[in-house]
Amino acid sequence: MAIEISYRDLSNHGAMLQDEVRCKAFRDALFEVVTPDSVVLDIGAGTGILSIFAAQAGAKKVYAVERSPVAQHAKQIIADNGLSDRITVIQGEMEALELPEKVDVIVSEWLGGYGVDENLLPIVIQARDRWLKPGGIMIPGSTTSWMAPAYDQYLQDEIEFWYSRPYGVDLTVLGDDSQRRTEASCHHIKAQDLACEAQLMWTVDSHTCTEAQSSGTFEAELEFISACEGEINILAAWFETKSAKTVELSNAPDCPDTHWGRTVFPLGETVHVQKGTRIKVHFVHEPHGKGHSNAKWSVEIEDYRFQSEDTTLLTGDFSEPSHPSSLQ
C-alpha cells in the first residue's frame, strides 16, 4: 500500500498556503530570529512564501532552493512582491547546491503528518552541515512525534458500508482493504476520539541530529493504558515542533486544525477495551531514499494481535531528474 503526494501539484501548495496555522508559525519564527545582517537559506521553497517572510523580517539575502518546476512560480511571485533584489531562486538539487556564502538561518518545511514520514530531513541536515554558520539557527528547531490508540467513526462507517452488500453487490474486498489502509490528512480525528494518553515516539533536534540519524530507522516501543471502556480501531500519529524561542506548531488532535490533519494506522478490526487495558505498540519508520519511506506496526491488546503490511509513504517528486542547481 502507498500514500503519495506531489509537490509539483499546485493544489498541494494551495493547501499549505491556505493553512494559516502553519504559515503564521513559520513567519513568527523567522521574525523572531532574522536580523538585518541575516543570510537565510530556504530549502524546498515551493512557491517562495517562507523566503518572502524571511525578507519581510529584514534578511539582507535569501536563497530559495526548489527542485521542481514550481520554482518558476516562486520567481514570479517574488518579483511581483518587489523582492527579487534580496531573494535568489535556485531551481535544482539541494545536494548539488553551490552558494557564494554561508548562512545564518536555514528554514525548511520538511514535515509530514507525523514529522519524519516524508523523509526530507536528511536533505536539510546535509545542507546544515555544508552551509550553516557555527551557532546558526534551524527552523524548525526540535520536532517530536506522538501516537495514541483511537476510534475512527468515519473508518467504521466506511467498513460497515462495504460489508453491507450495497445494491446487492459483494464489496467485501473493499472493506478488507479499508481495515488495512493507512490514511493521511485525517482532520476528523479529535482529542475526544483518543482512547489513551498520547505517548512520545521520538524527538529530532535539527541543530544536533546527525545525517546518519536523520536517514536511519525511527522505532518506538509504546505501552498505553486505556482511559475508559470503549472501542479502538486505529493508531493516530502527529507531530509538535518548537522553533526560535517561543514558536510552537502542532497538528495534534487538540490543536487548531492544519492541512496535515492526523495520520491514521488501522488495527485490522475494531477491538473492545476495558478501562485500564494495556495496549502494546511497536512502530517502525524506515527511510528508503529521498522522499520515500516505509511504516509498519504491530499491536497487542490482551489476546488480540495485529501485524501490518508495509505501507510506503512517498512525495512522488523524486523519480525524475531536476535542473542542475544554479543561481537564477
CATH of the domain at 291: 2.70.160.11
- Block means of pLDDT (10 residues each) for the chain, 328 residues, are 50 82 97 98 96 98 94 96 98 92 97 91 96 98 98 93 95 88 86 97 97 95 97 96 94 95 92 96 87 87 88 53 42
List Cα–Cα distances, 80 to 52, 72, 83, 135, 167, in angstroms: 11, 12, 8, 34, 54
Residues 257 and 153 in one domain: yes
Active site residue 98: no
Residues 304 and 157 in one domain: yes
What's the angle, vertex CA 30, arms to CA 27 and CA 34, rounded to 5? 145
Residues 127 and 180 in one domain: no
Task: Note the pLDDT of residue 287.
Answer: 84
Task: Note the pLDDT of residue 8.
Answer: 54
Residues 217 and 69 in one domain: no
Residue 326 lies in a domain: no
Residue 327 lies in a domain: no
Q: From the candidates 66, 109, 183, 240, which is the catalytic residue? A: 109
Residue 328 lies in a domain: no
Residues 37 and 112 in one domain: yes
Cβ count near 164 (within 10 Å) = 10
C-alpha cell at 114: 507525523
Q: Report the run of H or E that residue 4 belongs to, with start and end.
A: strand 2-4
**77, 106, 141 - which closes a domain:** 141
Residue 81 lies in a domain: yes
Residues 127 and 172 in one domain: no
The total domain count for the chain is: 2
**121, 141, 161 - which closes a domain:** 141
Task: Note the pLDDT of residue 325.
Answer: 47
Residue 27 lies in a domain: yes
Q: From the candidates 20, 93, 118, 160, which is the catalytic residue? A: 118
CA distance 251 to 187: 9
Active site residue 300: no
Residues 127 and 150 in one domain: no
Residues 233 and 97 in one domain: no
**116, 141, 166 - which closes a domain:** 141
Residues 77 and 16 in one domain: yes
Q: Which domain holds residue 102?
A: 2-141
Task: Note the pLDDT of residue 11.
Answer: 62
Q: How many residues does the chain have?
A: 328
List Cα–Cα distances, 111 to 86, 175, 205, in angstroms: 26, 31, 13
Cβ count near 49 (within 10 Å) = 22
Task: Note the pLDDT of residue 259.
Answer: 92
Residue 322 lies in a domain: no
What's the angle, vertex CA 187, arms to CA 186 and CA 193, rounded to 5? 85
Residues 224 and 154 in one domain: yes
Residue 114 lies in a domain: yes
Residue 211 lies in a domain: yes
88: CATH: 3.40.50.150
Residues 112 and 168 in one domain: no
Task: Note the pLDDT of residue 309.
Answer: 77
Residues 260 and 301 in one domain: yes
Task: Note the pLDDT of residue 312.
Answer: 65
CA distance 284 to 76: 41
Cβ count near 158 (within 10 Å) = 16
Among 259, 282, 74, 24, which residue's Cα sits nearest to residue 63? 74
